[in-house]
Amino acid sequence: MSKAIENIIWHPSPNFDERDTDTPVDMLILHYTGMKTGAEAIERLRDPDAKVSAHYVVEEDGRIFALVKEEMRAWHAGVSSWRGSQNINARSIGIEIVNPGHEFGYRAFPKVQMDAVTALAAHIVARHPIPARNVVGHSDVAPHRKEDPGELFDWQELARCGVGLWVRGKSSSHHKIAPLASNDKGSAVSDLQGALKEFGYDLPQDGHYGAELAGVICAFQRHWRPSKVDGVADEQTQEIIYALLEEVRRLT
């Protein structure tokens, strides 16, 4: 077991309640703290007035703090949705990764921090029935409100270590992909919305490329095509969407 896991620091928060006994823990949600310092973030996550928390906080130096027991419900997701469920706190474990975020100076996650997150996440998915497709970012479950953990987080490395999904290469079923962007309409837009919806995102399937679809595409890109986050469903973005969908269909 990694040093980071062996040395988890118990730092309890009062911000939790009971999980429903009939809801399995089948999601892992990653966040960034989005505050100037880790200490400030931890203080807020332990402040009874703030009414927010997470199970874990991972500092930039790799220290892991446990704030809420995994068997309890922490309050990290807010209004959110994944695969038709809005009950995200009830079914998930939340990890806050210390980073000032887009508001206060978004910066690279240091390797020692990334290694700690990876070890912790692997340790969590080994002990709960969390499928790879349910390891997602806050921005995936709340695409119009949240950007965390953001495009600098190394989801590819996490997947390489066995946590979450990462695919590259063309899907077999989709022969011709035309780029789609804001204000486009029609069946190709509707197909794209249907694919994102089946994969997990909450969005209407109305065949119209409006702000809502653009926001979901941004969230998708932050996670699975981080080199360019622009809300445009270019050929590569769509290829990855359809390839991921094939992968999750294969796995279920």
CA atoms in the 13 A half-sphere facing the CB of 88: 28
Query: Does 223 sit near Zn ion (CB under 5 A)?
Result: no
Candidate list 6, 43, 59, 96, residue with the active-site label: 96
Spatial neighbors of 145 by CB under 8 A, at least 6 apart, are 78, 79
Per-residue mark of binding to Zn ion, 122-161 (x: CB under 5 A):
----------------x---------x-------------
The residue written with tokens 């890109």 in the block is 221
The residue written with tokens 């077991």 in the block is 1
Q: How far is the CB of 188 from Zn ion (least distance, A)?
A: 32
The DSSP annotation for 230-248 comes to SS-B-HHHHHHHHHHHHHH
Phi and psi (nearest 5°) for 101?
80, 180
Q: How far is the CB of 138 from Zn ion (least distance, A)?
A: 3
Number of residues that bind Zn ion (CB under 5 A): 3
Q: Rank residues 76 and 248 by Cβ distance to Zn ion and give the closer one.
A: 76
Active site residue 212: no
Determine the Cα–Cα distance for residues 252 and 100; give it in Å rounded to an integer: 37
Q: How far is the CB of 31 from Zn ion (least distance, A)?
A: 3
Number of residues that this document lists for the chain: 252
Per-residue mark of binding to Zn ion, 19-38 (x: CB under 5 A):
------------x-------
Q: Give the binding site for Zn ion (CB under 5 A).
A: 31, 138, 148
Catalytic residues: 96
